[in-house]
């Protein structure tokens, strides 16, 4: 369903086509993505499952006044259907489908843009003379979605058969925390049925020659501190005010945990001292930090900040599982050996932000965050996000080696 302008590689044309779908928050066009994926599944001749997560039907019983008041009230039953979100999975069955499978995960949504700061329309997928393709999602993470697809297409057309089953999973809502996506889906019976042994998900670009791989993530904690204080007339000198507590020197941890003050709320008028002010922080905590002790520290800081200062979490990820990158680990050893064979240098890191990998690791499945983009500045969520077509195409070749390596990991003793 594509034409390739000026002899463009069809994989690049497919990528640019996908980039033009507006799966952008706050109202992502997921229908467009689902339709696109349906066509891909047909082309690849792979079965596709679609599972709705987080949909619910609610029953409410409402009292209505009868038109003729003397007859009193009657009941009206209402069924409200709250639509969920759809997770789609294409499955390439292995020659030994009883073995644990390999998951290739990607999210279909992208973050909003400030169009006035872009050189080109953020959904036009404009390609400049150097082959740089500009669009929201070029790095995060529509590139990876198409690279998985194109690698599978090539392997299939070469007649390759892989031992382990490979699932391509396309999830919604990663950019808004994954609640109506991976967070819920990992506990769905259909997820367990996939029998996943190892997962690949997104990583980050690397401006150098090396590629970065992520074996764990920092835990996101979103916290609001409520600072109540004595209200009063703005002309008076009031002890123990809310604003005074706001400037307390909280949250000065080491250089590995980051704390950003992201919201400050409160106040009604210049001359009215408010009864409460709230301040919110985005904290990112590495998996090596003791979270219980850390929360104890937060409690202590609130206590020191003054009377009645309380806190409330809007996000509190507690799981600190990391994926083994020991050479003795069969998944990691397959991954790293394949990269070595391609002369790729890997840099192992903890992912600074949060991806759906955290939900996969939380249910005990090893996951590596990896987006094969070297020689590329990190521009996810930024203006003028781009990816060079040669870097993109090299990524397909990388997956062409990686996927068979992972799907060929020899059976473990417990897999029989």
- The residues annotated with a catalytic role in the active site are 109, 174
Residue 209 assigned ligand-binding role: no
| 368 binding partner (options Zn ion, ligand FME, none; Cβ < 5 to 8 Å by kind) | none
DSSP SS3 for 341: helix
Q: In this structure, how many other beta carbons lie within 10 angstroms of the beta carbon of residue 225?
A: 23
Q: How far is the CB of 178 from ligand FME (least distance, A)?
A: 7
The Cα–Cα gap between 318 and 362 comes to 9
With contacts defined by CB under 5 A, name the span among 59-67, 141-149, 250-258, 319-327 that binds Zn ion. 141-149
**Cβ-based nearer residue to ligand FME, 25 or 303:** 25
Give min distance, CB of 112 to Zn ion, in A: 11
Q: Report the nearest approach of ligand FME to the CB of residue 177 (Å).
A: 4
**Is 317 known to sit in a ligand binding site?**
no
* Complete DSSP assignment for 272-323: EE-SEEEEEEEEEE-TTS-HHHHHHHHHHHHHHH-TT-EEEEEEE-------
Kindly tell me which residue out of 261, 314, 353, 410 binds ligand FME, with binding defined by CB under 6 A: 353
Nearest C-alpha neighbor of 157 from the set 6, 273, 11, 323:
11
188 is in an annotated binding site: no
Report whether 295 belongs to an annotated binding site: no
Sheet holding 166-171, edge to edge: 48-53, 85-92, 166-171, 101-107, 196-201, 367-369, 211-217, 346-351
Restricted to residues 127-146, the positions that interact with ligand FME (CB under 6 A) are: none
- Binding pattern to Zn ion, positions 198-217, x when CB under 5 A? ----x---------------
Which residues, numbered 282-311, are part of the site for ligand FME (CB under 6 A)?
Answer: none
**Residue 400 contact partner, candidates Zn ion, ligand FME, none, CB within 5 to 8 A by sort of partner:** none
* The three-state (H, E, C) secondary structure of 77-109, written as one string: EEEEEECCEEEEEEEECCCCCCCCEEEEEEECC
- Only one of the segments 138-146, 161-169, 233-241, 360-368 lies at the binding site for Zn ion (rule: CB under 5 A); that segment is 138-146
Chain contacts with ligand FME (rule: CB under 6 A): 175, 177, 220, 315, 353-354
Chain contacts with Zn ion (rule: CB under 5 A): 140-141, 202
């Amino acid at each position: 369903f594509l034409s390739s302008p000026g002899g463009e590689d069809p994989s690049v044309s497919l990528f640019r086509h996908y980039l033009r779908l507006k799966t952008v928050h706050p109202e992502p066009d997921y229908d467009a993505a689902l339709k696109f994926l349906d066509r891909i599944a047909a082309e690849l001749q792979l079965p596709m499952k679609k599972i709705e997560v987080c949909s619910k039907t609610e029953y409410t019983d409402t009292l209505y006044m009868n038109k003729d008041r003397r007859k009193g009230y009657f009941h009206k039953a209402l069924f409200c259907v709250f639509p969920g979100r759809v997770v789609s999975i294409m499955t390439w069955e292995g020659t030994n489908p009883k073995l644990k499978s390999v998951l290739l995960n990607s999210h279909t949504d992208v973050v909003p843009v400030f169009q006035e700061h872009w050189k080109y329309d953020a959904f036009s997928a404009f390609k400049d003379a150097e082959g740089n393709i500009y669009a929201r999602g070029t790095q995060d993470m529509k590139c990876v979605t198409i690279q998985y697809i194109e690698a599978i297409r090539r392997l299939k057309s070469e007649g390759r058969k892989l031992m382990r089953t490979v699932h391509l999973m396309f999830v919604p809502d990663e950019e808004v925390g994954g609640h109506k996506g991976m967070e819920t889906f990992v506990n769905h019976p259909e997820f367990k049925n996939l029998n996943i042994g190892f997962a690949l998900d997104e990583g980050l670009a690397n401006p150098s020659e090396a590629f970065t791989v992520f074996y764990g993530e920092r835990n996101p904690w979103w916290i609001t501190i409520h600072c109540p204080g004595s209200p009063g007339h703005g002309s008076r000198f009031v002890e123990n005010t809310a604003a005074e507590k706001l400037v307390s020197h909280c949250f000065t941890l080491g250089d590995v945990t980051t704390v950003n003050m992201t919201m400050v709320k409160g106040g009604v008028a210049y001359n009215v001292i408010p009864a409460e002010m709230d301040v919110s922080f985005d904290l990112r905590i590495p998996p090596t930090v003791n979270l219980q002790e850390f929360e104890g520290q937060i409690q202590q800081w609130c206590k020191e900040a003054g009377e009645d200062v309380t806190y409330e979490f809007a996000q509190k990820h507690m799981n600190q599982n990391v994926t083994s990158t020991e050479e003795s680990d069969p998944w990691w050893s397959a991954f790293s050996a394949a990269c070595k064979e391609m002369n790729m240098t890997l840099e192992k890191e903890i992912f600074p932000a949060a991806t759906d990998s955290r939900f996969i690791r939380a249910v005990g499945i090893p996951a590596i965050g990896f987006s094969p983009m070297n020689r590329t500045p990190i521009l996810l969520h930024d203006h003028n996000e781009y990816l060079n077509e040669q870097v993109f195409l090299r990524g397909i070749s990388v997956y062409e080696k990686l996927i068979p390596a992972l799907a060929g990991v020899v059976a473990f003793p417990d897999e029989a």
